[in-house]
Structure 1
Amino acid sequence: MSTFEPSSSWPRRRLVGAIGGVLGLAAAGTAIGLLRQQRQVSRRAGEDVPLGSLRSTPLTVVADDGVPLHVEIDEVDPAYTTSAGKSGDRRLWSRADEAGPVTVIFVHGYCLTLDCWHFQRAAYRGLVRTVFYDQRSHGRSGRSARENATVDQLGRDLAHVIEVCAPDGPVVLVGHSMGGMTIVALAEQHPELIGEKVIGVGLISTTAGGLDTSRILIPLLPARLTGRVTGQAVAALQRGHVAVDTARRIGRVIANVATSRLAFGGEVPSSYVRFVDDMLGATPFEVVADFFPSLSSLDKFDHVEVLSRVPVSVICGTSDRITSVGHSRKLASRISGSSLLECEGAGHMAIIERHDQVSAELDQLITAATTRADTR
């Protein structure tokens, strides 16, 4: 399998927030960028509808241990497929005749839900076949047994989602935070999928190991407990998770401040902070504690090289206080030919804080992946 080589249109680059608008215009030169322009979807897509309100008919994917996973699929609007066909550019539906359309699967992070992809969902709705799902024990998915609350199990869950939701066509995988770790676990378990079934990967605000998990806990614990929590303390708190959840609710104002500081790099609309805090607050602390050991011990940097077979975008905020920018730089250095986008001043929730830049980068990733698949 040949390694994806960067071309002049796929450079490794460091982009600052001030040129986000320019990036959005540049993305209009890609296949999906042109389609988004045709539909008059601006780089502010999603801001005209309530956060987390986008929905489609749900379906259930049952994991190998019986946990039901809540999944939603946004299909391509036939009107745009026809339009693309008339214009002679069908790259977004490469291999459609013999296999099926390209599907982009979005994998969310720790203590979030599929709703965190609100802006990306709005940007691609109707234009690309997209799959969103709640990870086990999160959102509307079923609760996992503690022994299966691991990154490795999340990788197996993703394999099942691919098998059920995109059985016939190629897929592009996009993961944020723990979702990126999920993709790395899948690549370790099923390297044969990379370059065959999986034709592109987006890794956002994530890592493959060396995570300082104490940083994650600040917005998830009562204020009086933050700053002195260890792995042993988390295990102890797990036994009193009901009391912890009550304390979190009582300390909501403090929690909002912590969420703002930890999730975002700068000033953002208060609605963004509430949106993220609602997802964090809805995750029972018992779930937080269940996954904690697996995140703390994660060590998979030796397994990311296989991703060099396909176009990869590594995206991060330079002010990420949870998975610092060094994690993304290390990932990019280990994945030959990958593109590194650093969003200057953005925090861990760059998918919300800098959604315009993120979607523009994903435009280029999807186009590069589907174009490369067409030429194989």
Structure 2
Amino acid sequence: MDSRNKRRIGVAGAVAGIGAAGVGAAVGLRQLAVGRVRLRPDPDAGEPFGELRGRELTVLADDGLPLHVEIDGPDDAPLTVVFCHGYTLNQDSWHYQRRDLAAKGTKLRMVFWDQRSHGRSGRSKPTHATIDQTGADLHAVLRATVRPNEPVVLVGHSMGGMSIMALAAARPKLFGSQIKAVALVNTSSGELAELTLGLPLVLAKVIRPLASGTLRGLGRRAAIVDRARVYGSDIAFMVTRRMAFADKHVSPTVVDFLEQMIRTTPIDVIAEFYPSLVSHDKAAAMETISKIPALVLVGGADRLTPPEHGRRIAELHPDAELVEVGDAGHVLPLEYPGVVTGGLRRLVERVLPRREERTA
């Protein structure tokens, strides 16, 4: 295969993955791509992305798959917050929240986990790459990390929010008894197959039917595509920046960090999860979630889960705080981390057991 064909496959992998409900399939030569964009001082250049680690735990899913879990904070904390990351990412996407949430003296225990086939978790069978299964995985993580009588807040970004909805559909009794609140960030309860990805409607209607077949084809050539993705690195960097973020001044280092997470997700994993994402429909689960306090965070310029999806979730929830950031894309935890962390602090304060209750 000559270099021109390799580059073509690399770019195809980038565009197909990004257009298929995650933030992308692609990425490559990190320093080159970032160096071309970094034309101004970058306050995040020295941030230790991917280096924050907690106490490690391996949790077995119900099908025996090992799930990588990390725990921060004291085991006697009055509240546990469990973070569920998005499609093609891993637990490090919560970097700023992990760094800052407990910084002001709030005694919290935080649990981070890599969803199946992502990050350091085991590789799933293709038939188990579903949102219902990730909901069951979340239940396994809860059973392994939190005692039945201990209160929990669930936080989910994108596919992570869908995993929370799948858990609510399968285990409604947990919501209210143990799960005291949820935060849903850049996510949707369904109708993802109708997304335009920011394209004109006529063009989107042409591309939508092709996406699944294109990804399946790339998945069948996974080894070739994953090797070739680096050849499209410059284009992939710019496409990721445009598709994932809306802030024109977003840190190039943050964009690069997102690329690195995406790069670790093989193209066939992206292809395997795609059908479950576009068929996702958990609107009925919102009745269960509506019984507890919620935070709904929306990016006003989110091309992957547009703001009306988050607004719809909030409309179905009488006790939800809706926060919409107009100049924000699909990765609020990285693009506007202070907004996300501040919202989580408010949510935690709403459900944190009072001191007299903790000492009773």
Which category of TM-score, normalised to the shorter sequence, fits these structures? Answer: 0.7 to 0.9
Rounded to whole Å, the distance in 2 between the matches of 1:374 and 1:165 is: 25
- 8 Å CA contact 2:44, 2:251 repeated in 1: no
Q: Which of 116, 139, 157 lines up with 2:119 in the alignment?
A: 139
The 1:374/1:136 distance shift into structure 2, 3 A limit, reads farther
SS at 2:334's partner residue? Answer: helix
Q: Which residue in 1 is equivalent to 2:135?
A: 155
Q: Is the 8 A contact 1:60 1:71 kept in 2?
A: yes
Q: SS of the counterpart of 1:304?
A: helix
**8 A Cα contact 2:162 2:188, kept in partner:** yes
Match of 1:118 in 2: 95
* 2:268 is equivalent to residue 286 of structure 1: yes
**1:194 equivalent in structure 2:** 175
Which moved further from structure 2: 292-301 or 174-183? 292-301
Residue type at the aligned position of 2:317: I
> Aligned residue for 2:330?
348
Q: Partner amino acid for 2:280?
A: L
Rounded Cα–Cα distance in structure 2 between residues aligned with 1:335 and 1:208: 12
Out of 295, 306, 311, the residue aligned to residue 277 of structure 2 is 295
- For each residue in 1:130-149, what CA deviation from the matched residue of structure 2 results, as whole angstroms up to 9, or x when unmatched? 00010000010000001100
Q: Deviations over 1:65-122 (max 9, x none)?
A: 0110000000139xxxxxxxxxxxxxxxxxx7xxx62100000000000000000000
Q: Secondary structure at the match of 1:172?
A: strand
- Gaps (5+ residues) in structure 2? 1-42, 200-206
Q: CA deviation at 1:215?
A: 6.8
- Tell me if structure 2 keeps the 8 A contact 1:46–1:123: no
Q: Is the Cα contact below 8 Å between 2:45 and 2:253 reproduced in 1? A: no
Match for residue 7 of structure 2?
A: none
Does residue 104 of structure 1 match 2:81? yes
CA contact (8 A) 1:212 1:322 kept: no
Q: 1:69 to 1:170 in 2, by over 3 A?
A: same
In structure 2, what is the equivalent of residue 359 of structure 1?
341
Structure-1 residue corresponding to 2:68: 70
Answer whether contact 2:193 2:279 (CA < 8 A) is retained: no
Q: 1:48 to 1:278 in 2, by over 3 A?
A: closer
- Cα separation, 1, equivalents of 2:50 and 2:208: 31
CA 372–340 in structure 1, closer or farther in 2 if over 3 Å, else same: farther
Structure 2 distance, partners of 1:374, 1:298, is: 42
- The aligned counterpart of 1:307 is 289
Q: Which residue of 1 aligns with 2:306?
A: 324
Structure 1 residues 190 and 67, CA, compared in 2 at 3 Å: closer, same or farther?
A: same
Rounded to whole Å, the distance in 2 between the matches of 1:356 and 1:151 is: 28
Measured after TM superposition, the shift of residue 46 of structure 1 is 8.9
- The CA distance in 1 between the partners of 2:222 and 2:194, in whole Å, is 18
User: Where in structure 2 are the equivalents of 1:121-270 lying within 5 Å?
Assistant: 121-125=98-102, 127-168=107-148, 169-212=150-193, 229-267=210-248, 268-270=250-252
The 8 Å contact of residues 101 and 345 in structure 2, kept in 1 or not, is answered as: no
Shift of 1:374: 8.4
Identity of aligned residues (%): 42
- With over 3 angstroms needed to count, the CA separation of the structure-2 counterparts of 1:133 and 1:196, relative to structure 1, is same
Which residue pairs with 1:86 in the alignment? none
Distance 1:263 1:161, change over 3 A: same
| C-alpha distance in 2 between matches for 1:233 and 1:150 | 19
Query: Following TM superposition, where does structure 1 have runs of at least 4 consecutive aligned residues deviating by more than 3 angstroms?
Result: 45-49, 212-216, 226-229, 371-375
CA contact (8 A) 1:112 1:279 kept: yes
CA 1:316–1:131 in structure 2 vs 1: closer, same or farther (change >3 Å)?
Answer: same
SS across alignment from 2:111: strand
Contact 1:46 1:119 in 2 (8 A): no
Q: For the residues of structure 2 that align with 1:181 and 1:213, how far apart are their CA atoms?
A: 17
User: Residue type matched to 1:101 in 2?
Assistant: P
Matched to 2:246, the amino acid is: G
Q: Do the aligned partners of 2:44 and 2:253 also contact (CA within 8 Å) in 1?
A: no
Post-superposition offset of 1:373: 12
Q: TM-score scaled by structure 1?
A: 0.76
1:337–1:214 Cα change, 3 Å: closer
Alignment of 1:271-282 (within 5 A): 271-282=253-264
Question: Quick one: distance in 1 between partners of 2:209 and 2:58?
Answer: 39
SS in 2 for 1:142: coil
Distance 1:47 1:239 in 2: 37
Give how far 1:236 is off.
2.0
Inter-partner Cα distance in structure 1 for 2:111 and 2:127: 27
| Counterparts of 1:164 and 1:186, CA distance in 2 | 15
Given that residues 46 and 122 in structure 1 are in contact (C-alpha distance below 8 angstroms), is that contact kept between their aligned partners in structure 2? no
Partner of 2:57: 59
The question of whether the paired residues in 2 share the 8 Å contact of 1:310 and 1:369 is answered with no
Q: Is the 8 A contact 2:189 2:281 kept in 1?
A: yes
